[in-house]
Structure 1
Amino acid sequence: MRENGFVRLPALATGDALARLRGAVGRLEELARGRTVSTGDFVLEAPGIGGWAAWQQGAGALTGVLRSADRIHAHVPEFDAVQRSLGLADGPVARAVGAPGTLVNAFLWAKPPAVGSAKPWHQDMAFAPPGFGAREHGVVTIWIALERATPRNGCVEFIPGSHLLGLLPHTGDRERLPGEPPLEEAVEPHVADEHLPRTEPVAMPLEPGSAVMFDGMVLHRSAPNTTAAEPRTAVSFVYKVPRPSWSRREPAAARP
């Protein structure tokens, strides 16, 4: 991970662990069933403009069809139990950065067939909460595929080595707070083309139960799901870690 910013973890959650994660996703889907409006924790998919933009614009969404869910370990504690049983913080994370991680969040990333929308290029550290201490801390994410992830249904793509570039400028709209009016046109935060390195992106197809672990500074995205019947469902666990030595650089905007 030091060189590229990401590393594949084959067969990380198989057998009982994979079944438990799928069962926990089913409980999340039950919590979303019947919902017609996105919230901060449950974002519903919307054809055409995508779930994030529909949420910010107050536009219609597909009833109960999740695009993503935040704080899934709080909504369904089984997610936390599985990541503990797999020893992710003390195992893969600690081996990568030299110290155990602390779980700070967990997400569902659903990409339904035909309507699953894209996620643009971004760095996770651009969305670290206030007081996170970006100079002292970093994040490492373990993204586990629960169904086969392919370029056709929107597997994650990375730009190798981009975790060494510092924090790049992100453009777009912040998520509106509760009570704020909808946006007329919402642009999901992203790194614009002119700030992207010229390095060729690498797609990360994964079999169910396999995972990819990546640094919070590495550029990544996912394409839309263009298949008719191949859902791409994944969960990710995000760990706070001491700032890895390879990413201790000044933000790009601060450098002359």
Structure 2
Amino acid sequence: MVDTESRDLRENGFTRLPALATGDALDRLRRAVGRLEELARDRTVSTGDFVLEAPGIGGWAAWQQGSGALAGVLRSADRIHEHVPEFDAVQRSLGLADGPVARAAGGHPGTLVNAFLWAKPPVVGSAKPWHQDLAFAPPGFGADEHGIVTVWIALEPATPRNGCLEFLPGSHVLGLLPHTGDRERLPGEAPRAAAVEPHIADADLPVTEPVAVPLSPGSAVLFDGMVVHRSAPNTTAAEPRTAVSFVYRVPRPSWTRREPAAARA
């Protein structure tokens, strides 16, 4: 990671990685996404691993409420490296854990803990509200000792129109902010009426201007698990936004160990 990228990550909580996965690596990721889509083609009900998009209320809410969704139209997929091992093979070939992730973590290689598909289809692609990834760490994660670093790779152009990621610079040093909404229901639990996706309320957001991070295919953004981020809905008629992310456990970065006083809205 060049000095500019390292400085951006420490100061802002995120940094761009241009042209991270190009040529064969990008082709392999796209083909692997195609295999995921084949696995979801006949699905009509969302599960924890395959969340289908739903017009009007969004895929997450429809999943939690047990509402109807668009058959086979993915909004997201969890544990994609287990469903399609090619994802794991590509992240290894790119050297993400020992390369950009290790440089972000002060020389400590990252340990892959999860990988996701983030699909945002045209017209119906729903928003993801403001949140911090570490708010959703599993029990026993040990957030006092560990942090997470995510490498989010665009497979198609990610733009403000189709829902590229947006960040609140510097929010990664504020500690874990309050999140409101409903937790994801466990397997076997009854659907929840009017489920609200977990998010940070406006009153708890830090006072800072959001920064959108548009990306070309194969480019990526690397970000700290404490930085506040979101993505807007895809309002385009024919511009899908598809991305994959690889999440790594690292020693908790030194810059997230303090919780300075900060003005909040």
Range of TM-score over shorter length: over 0.9
- Which whole-Å CA distance do the structure 2 matches of 1:249 and 1:128 have between them? 19
Note the aligned Cα RMSD (angstroms).
1.0
TM-score norm. by structure 1 comes to 0.97
- Which whole-Å CA distance do the structure 2 matches of 1:179 and 1:21 have between them? 33
2:101 corresponds to which residue? 93
- Which whole-Å CA distance do the structure 1 matches of 2:260 and 2:211 have between them? 24
Aligned residues: 252
2:31 corresponds to which residue? 23
2:3 corresponds to which residue? none
- Which whole-Å CA distance do the structure 2 matches of 1:177 and 1:228 have between them? 35
- Which whole-Å CA distance do the structure 2 matches of 1:156 and 1:2 have between them? 18
Q: 1:181 aligns with which of 180, 190, 194?
A: 190
Partner amino acid for 1:110?
A: A
TM-score norm. by structure 2 comes to 0.94
SS at match of 1:89: coil
Shift of 1:32: 0.1
Q: 1:3 aligns with which of 5, 11, 19?
A: 11
2:54 corresponds to which residue? 46
Shift of 1:136: 0.2
- Which whole-Å CA distance do the structure 2 matches of 1:131 and 1:185 have between them? 29
Within the alignment, does 1:81 sit opposite 2:89 as a pair?
A: yes
Q: Runs of 4 or more off by more than 4 Å in structure 1?
A: none
Asked if the contact 1:167–1:250 (Cα under 8 Å) also holds between the matched residues in 2, the reply is: no
1:202 corresponds to which residue? 211
Alignment of 1:1-256 (within 5 A): 1-98=9-106, 99-249=108-258
- Which whole-Å CA distance do the structure 1 matches of 2:193 and 2:260 have between them? 31
- Which whole-Å CA distance do the structure 1 matches of 2:142 and 2:234 have between them? 35
Please list the CA deviations of residues 207-241 of structure 1 after superposition, one character each: whole Å capped at 9, or x if unmatched.
Answer: 00000000000000000000000000000000000
Shift of 1:249: 3.2
- Which whole-Å CA distance do the structure 2 matches of 1:130 and 1:140 have between them? 18
Asked if the contact 1:29–1:64 (Cα under 8 Å) also holds between the matched residues in 2, the reply is: yes
- Which whole-Å CA distance do the structure 1 matches of 2:25 and 2:83 have between them? 18
Please list the CA deviations of residues 136-194 of structure 1 after superposition, one character each: whole Å capped at 9, or x if unmatched.
Answer: 00000000000000000000000000001000000000001111111110100000000
Shift of 1:250: 5.6
Partner amino acid for 1:125?
A: L
Shift of 1:15: 0.1
- Which whole-Å CA distance do the structure 1 matches of 2:48 and 2:258 have between them? 31
Q: 1:251 to 1:241 in 2, by over 3 A?
A: farther
Q: Which runs of 5+ in 2 are unaligned?
A: 1-8
